[in-house]
Structure 1
């Protein structure tokens, strides 16, 4: 594997020493499925030697159980090489171990690649820079597009790769985006701001638009019905109303195959056409073929390590209704969707792995029981996840958790068009992760995001480093004067607690130029924001009460689905069952011992829309590197407001207590914060931050 992360010995993460004894089986490309699998080398005479396929080793374990000979742990040693799957690997209850007899699938003696792709052999230089590969008898014509809520159309159901690079379906424009000029209705038809290319009508049958129809935080793919006189009609309706200036591009158009890194599948003629990246064909040409590489269901006590999974048309590994599974030292790449999706499963560990070039997100995991608040005890630890969301850009985070009691620790998340970590559920711990350069193609986006549910309580966001966020979004549009202006930075947040997110603890984080608002509370309640270090040129802290027509009915609806008044819930979250003074106001929030340094003297560093009573500000240390620091505020129960009030003017309102306006004399180096000896941080009882934030190498 190319993953540089070294193995970390933790009590919660599998150790190779656990498999020092027991039965050893071997798999090798040079083996034979007629061998007995008991040695790494195939003997010329007799049946002693490795199996050739993973499926044969799997069958051997099942036979042990059938014959009642499964009496000790089993380790399957998969030798270095590429194992191309003809079919998805299915693991079920027959493949389970026990707590004392675990089954361990181990790659060793070099990289072990498990691929769902096929290497195209019959390729030649055709005309100009275009190459072609014949696809008869490859089965590619039988692969259907994985249509979904946000993916419609008639494009190929597989992706093409040259070496390590994912190719792009032939598209217009070749780079960047085109833009909507004028919508002709709300959901299907619009004119283009840029002049459209001449496209043969036959090419439109399979063409597709990738579009942000009405905002910068939701993208989708829609088929094309027609293009006439500069007007595009989509085959199905977009989710959000079409708006002038919004982004789109067209793809899967054979006549637009004109740029390095583009490809087109001419299915009637059984031919893939492509222009190699950098016009080089020295690397393997691979088409992803299998939808999933492995499906694990109703399995317990099984571990996988030192394996590379690559080239799936959808999710690489799906896990359902399983327990005590470890996936360690993996590499996932070139997937059509996520690397891993685990549902309704507990005691899972995903650790020390490298995830990149996914079509959607990285890891999704749900477990535990929200009704009883029983923890799923799932762990995502010390993974490097980057360059994800290459197909669906938004709402496809590196890590998404649901249920109860997941721990997300020491991961490095970087380089993506959309958000980093998405939190659903209760009692999750997000600790010592580093997140940067996410939301690169989105606005109204968060590095760590949760929201729209009052019952998502007990979540802790602790000691993370979030830095270098910019975002990308529409600033202004004036069609009459031919102006469409997209900018970065745009509206991206570091910790984004949206639409009533409540009961969160955000403590000890370093937010170093972490977007438009470092910590954002959108109408939430009972949140604790403590001991954070914020360096910003925009807003350090933002609290509001949402907009006038926000649908609080959605929060009320989710509240009724949870037993929040029973003893378990009321003991753990007593404030949730208490009467609200005003359900549309942010109440009960505590902000204390935070350090906020603004590097922009022209704009306010704080925006507060809240009642004077119930929110608590105490012992914060505030400083403006370039002079005075300002506050925008609206006090809801007094009906008073002020834009760009001075810090002193804000303090005089009586909400901020024992806070200090002084230079903290701090330095942020990587994921660490240091203070000079004369720093006044001791005056606010600031607690030192750990020095081991981020990935452990």
Structure 2
């Protein structure tokens, strides 16, 4: 009888029940559950031992974040767990349900008076996100921003808008390094828009002249699923899709940016709390609050997310779904230790899935913009951080992340900045606008990046990789000549921030718009081994103490760029699919040797540079590339120079549930440079091409000599069909001369991104084209 009146106590565990239809005047029992998590937390503070807050099925609509403080902490041998009751679906939503009476307006548009006092940022209809009225209209086939237009801000277009204030302008960075966002505050006397914003990128070089769009403009409400809210008249306008019963549909709009907050600190940490089995959804967009510059990276940041951990220890988020969120999903801010995110699904996230960002005041001799620097005489020579106010010793394990960066393109699956010893293991990350995993600078190293599966990355940006890093640490200088002198004469400065090595091992990565692994601008103290790179190869820009060994680079190669003379870099025991592509390399590090090339020409080119004296060449004979098994077969010459096979079945998420949900990694057809004869045609981005060899082919094309690559056939709908025709002759590709198929394939491997220049011979003349290799607009 007593158990029915009070929370259940079994084996020193207290269970407190909460239900959407409960009452905070109840007793917190299964029969009489509380209505709010806040009420259950007050009860949990009274109990000793293990406490479970069991949430019964349904949706909890939050009008404020659930906040955990040190008062909610448990002792070292105790825990507080908030989970779904008996695997029931439990949703924490930041939206409110609208009470609307719809009447027809015009042109298929409906209108409803809104009596609630609300934030109008996004509209959800029957669980699906709708789009603010925008120009150009949303196009799912467009590569950038769901469709862009050069005339989006033209005076002619703007003249059609009576009251555009409150609208937004979204644009890519001028160099495709992320994005910018602005709110429209009105028009000036010239009929041009007045904008406020543009602080979302740390390299403020202006918006892209073509890739831009506007939204929240009433006059652009012209296609199904678009909406507009008139804040003065308090009227919602909506153009429903065919088949939607607007009078019975469920309309919601997000009202808060955070759902769960852990608010502690180093001295008053929130300890030993686990969130498990919940769905977190519907938070506000935060792109206009994204303004704090990170250390000399391209990034600015908003320190928040659907789940914010600020001063937590031994706290976990497990087996949750974080869906349809306006900003970041999970944000570890400043001091956090031994926390974990595991078994979760992240999808349709406005910004990044998981961020770890420490306190700039913990950094010695910091700089915040690319061109800033601390004079050499003023640099602090003390290694490591000044304080403990940063995330460390945390784990991101077995999570599925896809369709991220829906709003903010300067985002990632996992972002690491001013933190130390974060383990990122067995995650699957795909369909993201920039990197799957990004390390913002060297402070303070120690990270372990392993067994991840990362692909379909850099989809809405450029000059990036599936894994990307910067290392613009305290010694770094934007003037390369000055930087070279600093490193040559003050080498001890180079690892004062990245005090522990960063390890990248046993990952599978594919980037079709950049490098698979891209270490940029001074990234230092890395150990990179046993990685399968499926398309973009590995790039190392200037930096020190990088060891790259025992990696397999399919259909690409090694890209060393502008190394320091005393870099101490090592590249050995690797498999490459073509000759290296160096840029301004005078000294090839400590060791570049014992690698395997696909052919003698590539190996001889390396010898001519003074590298790879013990390297070998031979056929890249893989066990079963069609199924993703890129182990080399027994007898491969690669084993003679120290290469060792590694497992091909351990990438990405490991739980059966997440494996079943995850998209499969696109596997490439292996390109072999010398596999074709002059008469054979091969596939090239969808077209059939061959060496131009005969007098008949010269006559048919009008070529002056027997050179170039002849286009035999171009099937409709392929990427090649956007710029090639049958009987074209490809003469240059990515500014590299093309005389034979080998030249064309090597030139294709040299392309970083999807846009490049091609010169073709067509209709008796040379034609130069700037092309998109993926066929996107």
TM range (shorter): 0.7 to 0.9
Change (3 A) 1:389 1:243: closer
1:259 maps onto 2:223 in alignment: yes
**2:608 aligned partner:** 652
**2:24 aligned partner:** 33
Bigger Cα displacement from structure 2, 681-690 vs 219-228: 219-228
Change (3 A) 1:275 1:376: same
1:35-434 equivalence runs, <5 A: 35-38=26-29, 40=30, 42=31, 49-62=32-45, 64=46, 70-109=47-86, 110-124=88-102, 126=104, 127-137=106-116, 139-140=117-118, 143=119, 156=120, 158-175=121-138, 176=142, 177-180=147-150, 192=154, 196-197=156-157, 199-224=159-184, 225-226=186-187, 234-235=195-196, 240-242=204-206, 245-276=209-240, 280-281=244-245, 284-298=250-264, 299-313=270-284, 314=286, 315-343=305-333, 344-366=335-357, 370-371=384-385, 376-400=392-416, 402-423=418-439, 424=441, 425=443, 426-434=445-453
CA displacement at 1:286 relative to structure 2 = 1.5
Change (3 A) 1:216 1:366: closer
**1:543 aligned partner:** 560
Q: Distance in 2 between matches of 1:253 and 1:23?
A: 53
Q: Deviations over 1:483-541 (max 9, x none)?
A: xxxxxxxxx22111110111111111111113xxx2111112110111111112xx421
Q: 1:470 aligns with which of 508, 512, 533?
A: 512
**2:581 aligned partner:** 606
Q: Distance in 1 between matches of 2:13 and 2:80?
A: 10
Q: Distance in 1 between matches of 2:553 and 2:262?
A: 43
Change (3 A) 1:99 1:629: farther
**1:24 aligned partner:** 15
* Relative contact order higher in (CA < 8 Å, ≥ 6 apart): 1
CA displacement at 1:125 relative to structure 2 = 5.2
**2:650 aligned partner:** 692
Q: Distance in 1 between matches of 2:187 and 2:590?
A: 55
Q: Distance in 2 between matches of 1:288 and 1:504?
A: 42
Change (3 A) 1:180 1:256: closer
Q: Distance in 1 between matches of 2:168 and 2:566?
A: 43
The answer as to whether partners of 1:427 and 1:458 remain within 8 angstroms in 2 is: yes
**1:498 aligned partner:** 520
Q: Distance in 1 between matches of 2:565 and 2:469?
A: 18
Q: Distance in 2 between matches of 1:669 and 1:267?
A: 56
CA displacement at 1:217 relative to structure 2 = 1.2
Q: Distance in 1 between matches of 2:589 and 2:512?
A: 33
1:444-463 equivalence runs, <5 A: 444-451=463-470, 452-453=472-473, 454=494, 455-456=497-498, 457-463=500-506
1:594 maps onto 2:585 in alignment: no
Q: Deviations over 1:101-129 (max 9, x none)?
A: 11111112311001110122314252333
Q: Distance in 1 between matches of 2:331 and 2:394?
A: 13
CA displacement at 1:357 relative to structure 2 = 1.1
**2:718 aligned partner:** none
Change (3 A) 1:237 1:406: closer
CA displacement at 1:296 relative to structure 2 = 1.0
Change (3 A) 1:237 1:302: closer
Unaligned runs of 5+ in 2: 1-9, 265-269, 287-304, 363-383, 474-493, 656-777
Change (3 A) 1:613 1:52: closer
Query: What SS is found at the alignment partner of 2:162?
Result: helix
Bigger strand fraction: 1
CA displacement at 1:205 relative to structure 2 = 1.7
Q: Distance in 2 between matches of 1:58 and 1:30?
A: 17
Change (3 A) 1:595 1:613: closer
TM-score, normalization: structure 2? Answer: 0.66
Q: Distance in 2 between matches of 1:677 and 1:332?
A: 45
The answer as to whether partners of 1:180 and 1:243 remain within 8 angstroms in 2 is: no
CA displacement at 1:312 relative to structure 2 = 1.2
Query: What SS is found at the alignment partner of 1:197?
Result: helix
Change (3 A) 1:236 1:24: closer
Aligned residues: 552
CA displacement at 1:621 relative to structure 2 = 0.9
Q: Distance in 1 between matches of 2:313 and 2:75?
A: 11
CA displacement at 1:223 relative to structure 2 = 3.1
Q: Distance in 1 between matches of 2:191 and 2:566?
A: 48
Q: Distance in 2 between matches of 1:236 and 1:377?
A: 36
CA displacement at 1:367 relative to structure 2 = 6.7
Query: What SS is found at the alignment partner of 2:554?
Result: strand
Q: Distance in 2 between matches of 1:606 and 1:135?
A: 61
The answer as to whether partners of 2:529 and 2:551 remain within 8 angstroms in 1 is: yes
CA displacement at 1:618 relative to structure 2 = 1.7
Q: Distance in 1 between matches of 2:418 and 2:625?
A: 33
The answer as to whether partners of 1:340 and 1:364 remain within 8 angstroms in 2 is: yes
Change (3 A) 1:376 1:240: closer
CA displacement at 1:242 relative to structure 2 = 4.5
CA displacement at 1:677 relative to structure 2 = 3.1
**1:508 aligned partner:** 530
CA displacement at 1:211 relative to structure 2 = 1.4
**2:547 aligned partner:** 528
Q: Distance in 2 between matches of 1:617 and 1:507?
A: 15
The answer as to whether partners of 1:523 and 1:544 remain within 8 angstroms in 2 is: yes
CA root-mean-square deviation = 2.8
The answer as to whether partners of 1:129 and 1:279 remain within 8 angstroms in 2 is: no
Q: Deviations over 1:73-92 (max 9, x none)?
A: 11111111111113221111
